[in-house]
Amino acid sequence: MEISRATIATLDADTPATQERHLSLLYRGRLSSCNYDCHYCPFAKTRDSRATLQRDAADLARFVDWVSQRDHAVSILFTPWGEGLVRRHYRDAMIRLSHLPQVRRVAIQTNLCIGTHWLDRVDTRSFALWCTWHPSEVSLETFVARCRELQRRGIRFSVGMVAMRELFDDIDRLRARLPDTVPLWLNAYDVRPPDYYADADVARLSRIDPHFRWNLAPPPSLGAPCATGTRVVSVNGDGDVRRCHFVAEPLGNLYDGSFESRLGPRPCPNRTCDCFIGYVHREDLPFAIDYAGGQLERVPVRLAP
């Protein structure tokens, strides 16, 4: 396939017609195991069977092959329930995808727990990481050292935390240790009483992440315009395509192409959408502008290199 990355960028950015040639895929396979033991996470310290891991690797290889055959721009965010980068098949998939000319971005959500030498093999022009610090599992010094390794390699990345009240000081410490060019996002603690955050807390956290209020109290989404189902879709290990992770209605299958005829604008069917990977694609919120080109890896424009 004779197509350069520069050609893809030109085709995809010139006009509204060509912009439709770019498809973002949120891939979530069978993996649900994690090496961390965060008390708020249902997948803490879980283990997948060998059979599950083998099936997950085969599914992922099939997906990468499908992407390699596309003749239009594609972006991918891996959103595993567990930690993907401890598995070689995810690292190998991301290396290969980053070198495909039609791949504009390949990113993954990760706790950044492994070494960084394998990153020497990625194409940094298209590669990105969405990293989360879990203070109960790894020290600030170790985590920041890994972030420095990402910077040294020219890796595009964001860093974030769950904004639990007992972690407020840790959030401040992390912000102080990161360069201003590295965005620090904050997720509201899901299992919280109504009065969990005082007004002063929200103001404090918003100074670090100006978009925190959207995560804390997203506006109703029912009927809202959203790019999911048009320019963004969710894919599972079997290739089943849905508009996003949070809408069960199928659009078809990736591998037989049946989803393509069902792509098109449609309003959100859910009352609320409180997850960044969902509401970031809403067209009535500021994220298409604030995160233009960085929605998948959670890097806002003002901090993008």
pLDDT tens-digit readout, 117-170: 999 999 999 999 999 999 999 999 999 999 999 999 999 999 999 999 999 999
List the domain range (segments joined by +) for residue 75: 5-303
Q: Fill in the DSSP letter of residue 79.
A: -
Q: Minimal CA–CA distance to 160: which of 102, 209, 228?
A: 209
- Per DSSP, the three-state class of 205 is helix
pLDDT tens-digit readout, 43-85: 566 788 999 999 999 999 999 999 999 999 999 999 999 999 9
Name the residue with tokens 């965010």: 77
Q: Note the pLDDT of residue 199.
A: 97
Q: Which residues pair with 108 in a beta bridge?
A: 78, 129
Q: Which residues pair with 23 in a beta bridge?
A: 74
Q: Cα dist. 21→24, 102, 194 in Å? A: 10, 11, 43
Q: What is the pTM of this model?
A: 0.91
Name the residue with tokens 């706790």: 111
Question: What is the spatial distance between Cα 276 and Cα 136, in angstroms, rounded to a whole number?
Answer: 23
Q: What are the tokens at 21?
A: 């040639």
Q: Which residues pair with 160 in a beta bridge?
A: 132, 185
The CATH number given to whatever domain includes residue 217 is 3.20.20
Question: What is the spatial distance between Cα 145 and Cα 132, in angstroms, rounded to a whole number?
Answer: 14
- Residue 44: which region, alpha, beta or left (left: phi > 0; alpha: psi -120 to 50)? beta
Specify the pairing of strand 266-267 against strand 225-226: antiparallel
> For the chain, how many structural domains are there in total?
1
